[in-house]
Amino acid sequence: MKRILIFVFFLTFLVSFSQEKPANQDLKVGLVLSGGGAKGLAHVSVLKVLEEAGVRVDYIGGTSMGAIIGALYASGYTANQLDSILKVIDFDLILTDQMPRKSKPFYEKEIGEKYALSLPVKNKRVGIPRALSEGQSVLNLLTKLTQHVNNITDFNKLPIPFVCIATNLETGKQEILNSGFLPEAVKASGSFPTLLAPVEIDGKILTDGGIVNNFPVDEVISMGADIIIGVDIQSGLDKKDNLSSAVAIINQIVGFQMYNTLDYKYGKVDVLIKPDVTHYNVISFDKKKEIMKAGDEAAREHMDNLRAIAKQQTTKETPKINTKQLQYDISDIRIQGNLNYTRAYILGKLNLKKQDKTGYNKLIQSINNLYATGNFENVQYKILDDTENEEGSVLSLKVKEHRISNYLQLGAHFDDLYKTGIIINSTAKHLFNKNDIISADIILGDNIRYNFDYFIDNGFYTSFGVKSRYNSFNANLNFEQTNSNIEDSNVNEINLVYEDFTNQIYFQTVFNRKFALGVGGEHKHLKVFTETISSLESTVSANREKRLYFDNSDYLNLIAYLKIDTYDKKYFQKYGVFLDTEFRWFLNSSDYNSNFNSFSQLKGKFGLAYTFFDKLTTHFNSEAGITIGENNNRALDYNVGGYGENFINSFIPFFGYDLAELSANAFLKSGLTLRFEFLPKNYFSATANYTRVEPDLFNEGKIFENTKSGYMVGYGIDTFLGPIEINYSWSPDHSEKYWHFNVGYWF
């Protein structure tokens, strides 16, 4: 009996089609894909079943995630291709817009990686970011995946005509997007509130289309569809017990309007496919496999219906476009939208020039370089044919500069040397000149400090900068190592106060697209004293101040440096290379100790990190420093020992010894760290380091004599405040053991 009823149903189904359409006329199928964030991955499985049934899709309409999947399918991808692409995408990385660190400018790496919180300032008022992400990574991905149709601005001319829906934030009405730049339109449709920032198109501020029309049936019917297949991944409104997160609440608000119209829209759908995704939310991207399985199961329940539809279609194949990623010879670079940043600046950050050969992977890296400056809300790009050069291609860029140019940034830190500290930063961009940035830190706590930076970044051309810094700390040091010229048998250890006031003017250029080379002049005031043994000093000023000064001089210096930094992270590095070499020529001094002779110092640091099996990292580092000429001031010697990431001047960290316990006018140090990530962002570490600290380090080639060694084991966790670490170090050279503890970004 059941089989008879099914036969009668399909006979009626086919008869109705034959009545509506002449036998010789092809049946046009429209596909409607609803929004739903991660739940939209079910659409891919539905598409695979449609292809298996032989259904040819003639029109596609989608909203939000449905727009993303629909646009890719409309551009020429098969369902199997989409399945392969989406399974390997790291959606968490995409949605949070985490740019690779190597894309950041040198300046940002040096001064911008010490804040836990960054807040926009507009009209002298502190605000909050518009969303978790501006969506550049989403735009990059969509542009890359649709580059084979980037010349098509009328979505009706895609291999499958396409339309998507966005919401106008000013009017609250829907915007039908069927033309323009396809990745931009799709991104606007999928800009879920709080996750992705709204998109401006033709002067309209657009956001997630699911707010007003999450199931665009009428729009697909108007395109010419004879029959509608709808895939709805909406799960209905949540109960109060499930409204426990910001995402859930926003999703509930978005759903108020659309659920009121669903019955009306369902009435216009011929085949309604409803995957069971009630147990997932818009960010459940870690459940790809389960969501796709739900889509497959729901679609197969309608397999007979789908095959019946396919039989009414005379043409089975949809023309496909070659989606192979190509290489391009860049014959010209065209830029629009830049007001506060020059063409040279943009080209310098892109690291692209005319006549460069590039593919989309390299191009996206270049776009990331530009976006990572933090100066642009988004960067659109197309590869176009060069009408004047048959073999060349034009890179067309449309940039939108960030509307916020002022920021308030905050951070907190504790370590063994500087103790507690809270950093407050004010940053302003293009304040006096195009391409400039001004940053001021004030650090409050046990040791009050400040940093001031002004930099004009001219990209490929020479850039200009000014620095000013005051740094101070006090520490208990071995008296013998501090100054052997003073004898006091009753003192073994002194409390040393170290103050450094430095001002620099420098010029910097980037060459070979990787290295930063700089030269400049420097004024440095160095004050080093103790109150522990003030009675040994007989001068009137010392007796009055109750201090013994080791140095209280002003220095005029010339500086030069060469840097490269491709580390993937500031802390807990997994990959990359680091090089920082510095030359400082001490030309003149006010000479507090009356023993100054002009001399120079050359110091360099090298690091290499590599990770095996995604968990075990080896991190090699080496440092060396030499003094050229006669330096009679012990305060300017290299001081080796202790642990820290913010040591200044000639202080060098070394596990197994206390701060500045080893001191001389030259040193050589190497170390190897093994780091294992046993849980996400949780690390066990072990370090072995070796050093030689003594005059005439390289004399007669005996650089390994009198080598000191030290070892460390520790635990660290990477948090939003920065690294939190506890380390235990020792050396077989002596009986002392040390614990090192720090919280937050170093500053």
The pLDDT confidence band at residue 354, using thresholds 50, 70 and 90, is confident
Element (H, E) at 688: strand 682-693
**Mean pLDDT, residues 568-576:** 94
Given a contact cutoff of 8 angstroms between Cβ atoms, the answer to whether 86 and 68 are in contact is no
**pLDDT over 50 at 289, yes or no:** yes
- Cα→Cα distances 337→346, 602, 694, Å: 11, 44, 57
pTM for the predicted model, two decimal places:
0.81
Most confident of 241-250, 446-455, 535-544: 446-455
Could you give the CA distance from residue 28 to residue 313 in angstroms, rounded to a whole number? 8
Facing residues of 725 across strands?
716, 742
Average pLDDT over residues 577-596: 94
Q: What is the pLDDT of residue 700?
A: 61
> Which pLDDT band holds residue 31 (cuts at 50, 70, 90)?
very high
- Asked which of 102-111, 123-132, 381-390 is least confident by mean pLDDT, the reply is 381-390
What is the Cα–Cα distance from 525 to 185, expressed in whole angstroms? Answer: 57
Residue 208: its H or E element: strand 204-208
Higher pLDDT, 727 or 315: 727
Helices H / strands E in the chain, number of each: 17, 33
Most confident stretch, 168-182, 249-263, 313-327 = 168-182
Half-sphere exposure of 313 (CA within 13 A, CB side): 22
CA 570/CA 566 separation, integer angstroms = 10
Q: Which two tokens stand for residue 664?
A: 């001389």
β-strands 599-612, 515-530 pairing: unpaired
pLDDT at 705: 80
